[in-house]
């Protein structure tokens, strides 16, 4: 009955053969944590820190940031919480960080590039995160497992820079978003420095298809089912498996239940999405084994385009039973 179903505990993300696929939440606003927990999020796979910066003409203070991060970590005792440092530029311009006059802001000084150019802002953010981490270590419910990552990383050198800076602040687990094809192609070398990678399929699709994700006239290109995007995901998945390091997905693609299966088949080890998408993805994962997921992924990879990849995956998924 419905009331019993609603109160039954939500099971952790897993495939039909029992392979665990932790299902995490994307959060980008204050609040939201309790809804994510109610919907069964096993942690946070992407905490977008932009909201702390977007409403003001100057960067928030270390104290303001520490309060926000402490509140976030306190909501997830014993759980993984992946915090992304400020991703300014392109679709999220900030007056104190970005040059408003770039002609191609998606290809400009954004993400980690912008933070590096204003390194004091990055250092303050890492300071606040380290302080929040230390504060929640003393909490009676137990600490969250804080991971930090940088957005828009396009070189191995940037990976080294960010990971070593984060460690200087005592942050133990540091990684990068893979959302630029260069990083996907060099994932094996990125993993020599990063503790983990999280694939941002929104930007990875934009940069692979060379189609501005904000431009309506090219919106039809913004489809993460495109086999070129899937090949890049496979590259990262293989590099993660070879190095024994986790590969998360935190772009919108993870919220599409069948695509989520494909991404796991390509080597994703965790999926992070808007909390409202968790139930459908959880239910669909339970209907496929890891072998099924790999076979469904192969079918999608063999297609010429996004639409045919989806069709091929749909056919492979239904022929399995
Ligand atoms: C992405 O690019 O897929 C991503 C998760 O980051 P954002 O959408 O915030 O750019
Ligand atoms: Mg992105």
Q: Which ligand is nearest to the CA of 205?
A: 1
Q: What lines the ligand 1 site, CB under 6 Å? A: 46, 48, 87, 179, 200-203, 250-251
Determine the Cα–Cα distance for residues 98 and 111; give it in Å rounded to an integer: 10
Query: Which residues place a Cβ less than 5 A from the ion ligand 2?
Result: 179, 200, 203
The per-residue pLDDT for 139 is 81
At a CB cut-off of 8 Å and minimum separation 6, what does 20 contact?
A: 12, 13, 14
Q: What is the pTM of this model?
A: 0.96
DSSP state of 14: B
Mutate to test the pocket of ligand 1, among 151, 181, 247 (most ligand atoms within 8 A of CB): 151
What is the DSSP code string of 77-98? Answer: TTSEEEEEP---BTTB--TTTS
Catalytic annotation, residues: 250
Q: Tell me whether residue 110 is annotated as binding.
A: no
To test the ligand 1 pocket, which listed residue (45, 51, 88, 179) has its Cβ within 8 A of the most ligand atoms?
A: 179
If you measure from the C-alpha of residue 151 to the centroid of ligand 1, how many angstroms do you get, rounded to a whole number? 8
Query: H/E element holding 317?
Result: helix 306-318
ipTM: 0.99
Altogether, the residues listed in the chain come to a count of 321
* CA nearest ligand 1 atom 1, residue: 200
Angle at 263 between CA 13 and CA 229, to 5 degrees: 155
Angle at 152 between CA 150 and CA 157, to 5 degrees: 75
Query: Which pLDDT value is given to residue 270?
Result: 98
The beta-strand segments (E) located in 58-207 are: 80-84, 145-150, 173-178, 197-199
Ligand found nearest the CA of 229? 1
Q: What is the pLDDT along the chain (321 residues), one digit of tens a residue?
A: 555 555 667 899 999 999 999 999 999 987 899 999 999 999 999 999 999 998 778 889 999 999 999 999 999 999 999 999 999 876 777 877 776 688 898 999 999 999 999 999 999 999 999 999 999 988 888 899 999 999 999 999 999 999 999 999 999 999 999 999 999 999 999 999 999 999 999 999 999 999 999 999 999 999 999 999 999 999 999 999 999 999 999 999 999 999 999 999 999 999 999 999 999 999 999 999 999 999 999 999 999 999 999 999 999 999 975
């Amino acid at each position: 009955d419905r009331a019993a179903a609603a109160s039954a505990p939500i099971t952790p993300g897993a495939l039909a053969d029992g392979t665990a696929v932790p299902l995490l939440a994307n959060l980008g606003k204050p609040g939201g944590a309790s809804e994510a927990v109610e919907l069964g999020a096993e942690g946070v796979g992407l905490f977008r820190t932009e909201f702390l910066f977007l409403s003001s003409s100057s960067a928030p203070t270390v104290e303001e940031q520490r309060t926000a991060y402490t509140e976030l970590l306190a909501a997830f005792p014993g759980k993984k919480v992946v915090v992304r440092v400020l991703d300014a530029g392109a679709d999220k311009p900030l007056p104190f960080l970005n040059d408003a006059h770039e002609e191609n802001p998606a290809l400009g000084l954004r993400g980690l590039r912008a933070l590096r150019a204003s390194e004091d802002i990055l250092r303050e953010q890492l300071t606040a995160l380290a302080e929040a981490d230390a504060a929640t270590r003393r909490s009676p419910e137990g600490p969250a497992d804080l991971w930090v990552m940088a957005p828009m990383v396009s070189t191995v050198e940037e990976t080294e820079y960010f990971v070593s800076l984060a460690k200087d602040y005592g942050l133990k687990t540091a990684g990068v978003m893979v959302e630029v094809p260069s990083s996907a192609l060099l994932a094996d070398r990125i993993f020599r420095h990063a503790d983990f990678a999280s694939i941002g399929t929104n930007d990875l699709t934009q940069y692979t298809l060379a189609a501005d994700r904000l431009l309506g006239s090219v919106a039809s290109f913004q489809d993460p089912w495109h086999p070129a995007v899937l090949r890049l995901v496979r590259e990262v998945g293989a590099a993660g498996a070879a190095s024994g390091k986790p590969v998360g997905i935190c772009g919108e693609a993870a919220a599409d239940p069948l695509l989520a299966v494909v991404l796991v088949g390509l080597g994703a080890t965790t999926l992070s999405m808007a909390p409202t998408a968790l139930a459908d993805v959880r239910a669909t994962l339970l209907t496929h084994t890891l072998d099924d997921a790999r076979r469904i992924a192969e079918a999608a990879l063999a297609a010429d385009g996004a639409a045919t990849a989806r069709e091929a995956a749909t056919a492979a998924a239904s022929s399995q039973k």
